[in-house]
Amino acid sequence: RMPSNQSEQFFILTLAPLYPQPPCVPSHNIPTMTIDKQGLVVITGITGYLGSQTCLTFLQNGYRVRGTVRSVASSEAKIRAAFGDDLFANLELVSANLDDKASIISACEGATYVIHTASPFHFGGDCVGPAVAGTTAVMEACTKHGVKMCVVTSSCAAVLAPAKEDAPVPPAMYDESSWSNPDRPEGLVDYMKSKTLAEKTAWDYQKANPGFDLATICPTFIMGPSPLGDGTSIKWLKTAMDGSKAKIPRGRSGFVDLRDVALAHLRAIEIPEAANKRFILYNDKGKMPDVYGWLAKFNERGAKVPTILGEGEDIGGDAVDNARSKEVLKIQYTPLETTFTDHAEQLLSRGLI
């Protein structure tokens, strides 16, 4: 059921120096298409929370990457420091912006694969325009430059908000056939509308221009350590650990590890069966008392995680089917406790708590 405060609904419903990570290299029993790793992979938005981890995953797996940033001059040093000199040697940086179609199309020249992670993620409004414009530019670039496959980062924000009468009735679950409805009578916040319309733009374009394969990745609320970025996920964790909350909130949220989501983008281009499919990336519903219990272990190191339970029940969250991601992409989800403790370790090591 949708909560009344729509600006928080995505969180409730879906709710460095190299740090420990699950293996990024596909295991030998995973069928892969013939991949020319000398072929260029263009990844948009590589200074972002997800984009930086996705870029790192491709570099660690031997790919040659061109990453888009808003400004090469202001980004180069921090990216080199986060990735290290050896990996950085296989990375080319170019300036591009979502609202500058020519810059996006130019950035994709010569690409064999395009991974489009760049999109606004906030609840301040004005997400729809840049999200749709950026996706449109990427799609046109794929056609112009003869790209083999494009992977677009969507979101479960594009899955979990149909009109009330169209929502699955338990025991039915949300799956890749489910779509959010931007025009539903209940209304839809700008961010969720932006992800829905941007993903629909990608599929509509590819249907009309079927010269390349497409896959979309639809994660629930992403948590976990990242090489770069200071976005919504990091702010969520900081708020849980910096004394902002007097009591443990109640409820359940759907979470997924950032490293699993990044790996899904890689697997999408390497596994033939992934072509032209959507993939929900979802691990499990985390109960807030459990999450805060894991985080409270860091109080002895200066964190201020509440330990008193607030009122309410640990219910909520939609039933989400992640079978396709496990069966096709062979994702083995990172335990939620590992996700949160690794992320908390990183925030502490960076002096953010």
Measured CA distances, 159 to 34, 41, 155, 193 (Å): 32, 27, 7, 11
Roughly what angle, to the nearest 10 degrees, separates helices 336-349 and 288-296? 40
- Residue 23 burial by Cβ neighbours in a 10 Å radius (0-12, 13-18, 19+): exposed
Rg (alpha carbons) of the chain, rounded to whole number: 19
- Tell me whether residue 195 is one of the annotated catalytic residues: yes
Catalytic pick among 78, 101, 148, 195: 195
CB–CB of 158/218 below 8 Å?
yes
Strand-pair category, 213-219 with 252-257: unpaired
Residue 86 CB contacts under 8 Å (≥ 6 apart), including other chains: none
Three-state secondary structure along 286-343? Answer: EEHHHHHHHHHCCHHHCCECCCCECCCCCCCCCCECCHHHHHCCCCCCCCHHHHHHHH
Q: Which residues are known to be catalytic?
A: 195
